[in-house]
Chains A and B, each alone.
Chain A
């Protein structure tokens, strides 16, 4: 039995925006990513899986217990979620917030206190534990949210854009911390950063306009869709040319050429011959971001 089974979930917000439509996912042990640009439905999906947002249709099963049906208590015991802009009592300290959440999750007060102290050490907030959360920086709040999601030692951790807004060094630190404290738990996280997903996830679902457009292991997806480096050309003045029979992928004023037997000089010459103004050219290595662009014709961010 899969750890989490998501079957045909749909969600339309009250303003009429269809956030998620007929999405089905399966998660077992490991680290999973939901990747897509803002508004693609990944946060809505995570919130539905984590028990924060009720779907209009569909089922979420956590180790056999329905997240939105009769077994919701058992299902919620098994999941910890750190949503974006995690809500805390701003006038309480970090440790008080964690103990409160621990009690909500059914821990005894002594156990909640013990877990809170351990997690505050783990996420590097020990020295700030007695400060009010209102004085925490964005990064500190994010680390507190991760601690909150782990307070009841769940099997499954859901993290919505855990490294969003962090510089590369902080992001690496956060992930090494996550990998260390989450151990062998199932982690599901969302991101619009292809590099982060490639680097840390074992399996990825690509989201576009509320639907899953592709899924698989990051390496396998890259090899399937974008096995070669890409030349990205910023141009003006007309239609970009084909190069050695290779059609470019055009997005706005950029054209992408797969450098599969095509050299960069060939691309430059083709533009020169066509008489187009070439503003800039960039060579990028195969990546999940390029896979997403190849599949959807849109950029991740």
Chain B
């Protein structure tokens, strides 16, 4: 029983600090709500002009053309079924399948969501691109064939040359990302941001803050093991993230997030994912706590790492908005993988089985990072005790 109460010690100090310290209240409760409001106003807009399009082709004909259009986020896929699944679950707005070659004749098929304005817009952009390519092929053919065609027959030749046959096919959406769903996306992203910041900050500060504030002397003279203290600190971090998440959820409710998408089984899964993410960031923070010597140095380090990660790590900003070289990093960053898995489960109705492999790998990695953090923590505590 003694250990159980000792585990409560850091949580007690944290909760009391939350109630007493305006600074803590701001960063844990107010800041994420402000961010959520800003993000919702800026990004939770279904009328955005940027569209995400998937492309399936045998030769690289449309990849460069579509890739060069600034309003298009292009994603290459390996098969039609994947494209349709992505379209149905809303992760792309339209898809283009290209078969054949210019020599043998090209056939294209455009998939888009019926009744979804932005999808129809994406399809019309693709259609316009195909028309442009067709015109280019026709004009090249005319230049080649010009000496052999009578002057009064060019219009007729244009009519009979049909280099690309195009089909348009409507797909029924499984989900439509309306304002409520998009706000929910922002809620999940904001939870990710708080996991990133609070986890990292708590990990880095665990030993340094106690040392600098002198509390370490109180702790050392107490009948508590360093492991019990670490678990207590980690639990306090989880409590902090939970409080922050609850405030984000409340903010999301006010902003109209569609919580009907969150069933009980999904919620439990999301909590587990959140714990894994928190464990990873806390462990990473513990490892990084080797570097700074003061609270001020630790704060600077956390900001230096967390702010770029927030924008470039695929947590706040979607992968598709990132340049390819950063996207590769973002896609492999565990917390971003977890946050995107959360969104896939919540918004796009992806089943646990589809993300299980990924979750297992990230979980193992998170536990490994945390365990390395435990070793660092114990070593730093030993050094701190020697240095008192």
Interface residues of A, Cβ cutoff 8 Å to B: 14, 47, 50-54, 72-77, 79, 81, 83, 85-87, 89, 91-93, 96, 99-101, 103-109, 112, 132, 148
Contact = CB atoms under 8 A, between A and B. Distances in A.
Nearest to B24: A91
A65 to B, nearest CB: 10
A52 B8 contact: no
Q: Which 4 A-B pairs have the closest CB atoms?
A: A87-B214, A106-B2, A103-B9, A76-B223
Of listed B3, B21, B217, residue having the most chain A CB within 10 A: B217
Interface in B344-388: 385-388
Interface in B198-229: 213-225
Given A52-B388, A91-B21, A104 B224 contact: yes
B225 A54 contact: no
Nearest to A110: B5
Contacts of A99: 12
Contacts of B216: 87
Interface residues of B, number: 30
A91 B20 contact: yes
Nearest to B1: A108
Interface string B15-26: 011001100000
Contacts of B388: 47, 52-54
B13 interface: yes
A79 to B, nearest CB: 7
B6 interface: yes
16 contacts: A51-B221, A52-B388, A54-B385, A75-B223, A87-B217, A89-B13, A89-B16, A91-B17, A92-B16, A92-B17, A92-B20, A100-B9, A103-B8, A104-B9, A104-B219, A112-B5
Nearest to A72: B223
B221 A76 contact: yes
Given A14-B387, A76-B223, A77-B223, A104 B16 contact: no
Nearest to B229: A104
Interface string B97-140: 00000000000000000000000000000000000000000000
A87 to B, nearest CB: 3
Given A103-B8, A108-B5, A109-B8, A89 B223 contact: no
